[in-house]
Amino acid sequence: MSTHSPRGLHWFQALSDGAAQVGGLPPSLKVADAQLGEWPARYLTVVADPANRFARARDGEVGLLEGWGLAHAVDQAIAADRDQPHKRVLIAIVDVPSQAYGRREEALGIHQALAGAADSYARARLAGHPVIALLVGKAMSGAFLAHGYQANRLIALRDDGVMVHAMGKASAARVTLRSLEELEALAASVPPMAYDIDSYASLGLLWQTLPVSNAEQPSPSDLGRVQESLIEAVKDVQASGRDLSSRLGADNRSASRQVRDLLRAQW
């Protein structure tokens, strides 16, 4: 039985408002075109598929099918809107526990599949599609890099179940040869090591965090608050451009800014 949270699916259903889903994609991908305020939008999310032919991708992980499927769905939007003056908004609804780790995934090139998804999102952003990521659950490891991280703006629900990190706590403890208690103590003073959304926000990568009454199953008021935030994010993107420079403003990104300044001066 799947242990993956249904958050991504619930928010997809609420935001797409019953719109017909895009066909030709694996069952672990939900994609639909619907309206967001005055703009057409394409909503995309990865969900659990207990029957996934790749066993390591049955609980909502982003694997081979998901990576290439996301790339295909985004490329479809780029091609369809190429000659349109107003490109549709791409909304990546993010609740991904991990990339899919397995021998078959490695042998068949999961690095290429996930890179393909990230590349498509980046090309969409540079082609003029406002790309917004809505973090409603976990945004972990290569899964988040493939689905969401290339967005112009990142919005996260303010909820304990929303977390961003390179790997889960148990895995991080094994890799760093620390206990979970030691890891949590370290995270208290080193924001990049923490899992809570406020620590991640302190790195300057989030455009907004939103309190909601129910992150698992959005209420009408939760849905309205999120839709309003998405609309404001699109307006902000349209006013300020396609790059990701807005992520460098936080105090905890001062070293990143200094490195970029030095590279720019030397080149």
Q: At residue 183, does pLDDT exceed 90? A: no
Q: At residue 1, does pLDDT exceed 60? A: no
| CB-count exposure of residue 252 (10 Å: 0-12, 13-18, 19+) | middle
Q: At residue 195, does pLDDT exceed 80? A: no
Lowest mean per-residue pLDDT among 33-37, 52-56, 190-194, 202-206: 190-194
The answer to whether 21 and 29 have CB atoms below 8 angstroms apart is: no
Q: Which amino acid is at 54?
A: F
Q: At residue 79, does pLDDT exceed 60? A: yes
pLDDT at 41: 98
**How many CB atoms within 10 Å of residue 6?**
17
Q: How confident is the model at residue 182 (pLDDT cuts 50, 70, 90)?
A: confident
- 206-260, pLDDT tens digit by residue? 999 999 999 999 999 999 999 999 999 999 999 998 889 888 878 778 888 899 9
Lowest mean per-residue pLDDT among 35-44, 83-92, 157-166: 157-166
pLDDT at 3: 65
Give mean pLDDT, residues 186-200: 76
The answer to whether 22 and 76 have CB atoms below 8 angstroms apart is: yes
Q: Of 76, 236, 73, which is closest to residue 152 (Cα–Cα)?
A: 236
Query: Residue holding tokens 């042998």?
Result: 107
Angle of helix 169-176 versus helix 180-187 axis, rounded to 10:
100
Q: At residue 2, does pLDDT exceed 60? A: no
Q: At residue 262, does pLDDT exceed 70? A: yes
Q: What is the dihedral of CA 122, 123, 126, 132, to 10 degrees?
A: -50
Q: At residue 62, does pLDDT exceed 70? A: yes
Mean pLDDT of the residues in the chain:
92
- 109-121, pLDDT tens digit by residue? 999 999 999 999 9
- 123-164, pLDDT tens digit by residue? 999 999 999 999 999 999 899 999 999 999 999 999 999 989
pLDDT at 126: 96
